[in-house]
């Protein structure tokens, strides 16, 4: 992976991380298009860390509040949502890494993402805020986030949809989804820390590419969050489902018929 490819992939990561269209799915797809064959989970984790900068920038007030008053209900809700994600990630780590490498289920995962987004988009705006949200609600959203570790299953799409299924208010659903990404991304980074430090260890990706991709992801992610918050408040998330249906269909067509990239 060269520097230009890293920056392009970083921008794609930043744009798609917070839109319900699967950032990891797009990274796997673009890696196939670029012809990148070396393991890239380290790069994927690095650009995900870049998007954390965007989360910190947009939700700095929430984060400062959590640091000042760590034992508030929102903290426990985030913890309840993080636990099932962590369990799923640890138990199925090898399976998920293989899925990232081969991309064999990519098209079907895009389709699944579209179905879930379209389903949740027809729901009326919920009524639950922090006070009304139960720990079961948080666990349910955390399970959805755990399932989204698969490459083309959108994390933001599933967590926001999961929150809407549990009758959370749209604004709080988005806020909770984005805050929940912090421990998930940090947890993934911890598991990949050894590979990130030892960049030369068979990844084929240089430190310069990792840094450039992460910075590009941070800037694009900030813009993406702002855009997603506006779209969700207007109840227009269903339009993203049409996009992932189209992408999923094209990927399946290539995987089974044309074989241009797969």
For residue 162, the SS3 value is: helix
Q: What ranges in the chain are assigned the alpha helix state H?
A: 3-17, 23-34, 41-58, 60-68, 73-91, 93-102, 106-121, 135-147, 155-165, 170-197, 207-233, 238-253
Of the chain, the percentage scoring pLDDT greater than 90 comes to: 63
pTM value? 0.89
At 244, is the pLDDT very low, low, confident or very high (cuts 50, 70, 90)? very high
Q: pLDDT at residue 259 above 80?
A: yes
| Burial annotation 19-31 (CB, 10 A radius, 16+ → b, else e) | bbbbbbbbbbbbb
For residue 180, the SS3 value is: helix
Tokens 């009326």: give the residue.
124
- Residue 96 near residue 39 (C-beta atoms within 8 A): no
List the structure tokens of 224: 């993406």
**In residues, how long is the chain?**
262
- Interval 42-96: pLDDT, tens: 777 788 889 999 999 999 999 999 999 999 999 999 999 999 999 998 898 788 8
Averaged confidence pLDDT in the chain? 89
List the structure tokens of 116: 């879930």
Q: What is the distance between the alpha carbons of residues 216 and 50, in angstroms, rounded to a whole number?
A: 8
């Amino acid at each position: 992976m060269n520097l230009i490819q890293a920056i392009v992939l970083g921008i794609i990561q930043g744009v798609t991380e917070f839109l319900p269209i699967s950032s990891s799915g797009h990274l796997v797809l673009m890696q196939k298009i670029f012809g990148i064959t070396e393991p890239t989970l380290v790069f994927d984790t690095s650009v995900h860390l870049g998007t954390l900068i965007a989360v910190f920038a947009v939700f700095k007030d929430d984060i400062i509040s959590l640091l000042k008053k760590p034992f508030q209900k929102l903290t426990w809700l985030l913890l309840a949502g993080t636990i099932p994600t962590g369990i799923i990630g640890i138990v199925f780590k090898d399976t998920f890494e293989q899925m990232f490498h081969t991309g064999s289920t990519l098209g079907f995962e895009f389709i699944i993402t579209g179905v879930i987004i379209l389903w949740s988009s027809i729901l009326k705006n919920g009524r639950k805020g922090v006070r009304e949200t139960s720990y079961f609600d948080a666990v349910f959203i955390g399970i959805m986030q755990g399932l989204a570790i698969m490459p083309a299953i959108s994390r933001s799409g599933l967590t926001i949809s999961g929150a809407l299924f549990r009758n959370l208010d749209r604004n709080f659903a988005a806020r909770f989804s984005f805050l929940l990404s912090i421990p998930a991304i940090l947890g993934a980074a911890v598991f990949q820390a050894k590979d990130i430090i030892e960049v030369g260890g068979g990844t084929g990706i240089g430190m310069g590419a990792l840094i450039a991709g992460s910075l590009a992801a941070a800037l694009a992610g900030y813009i993406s969050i702002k855009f997603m918050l506006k779209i969700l408040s207007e109840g227009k998330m269903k339009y993203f489902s049409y996009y992932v249906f189209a992408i999923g269909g094209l990927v399946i067509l290539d995987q089974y018929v044309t074989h241009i990239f797969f």
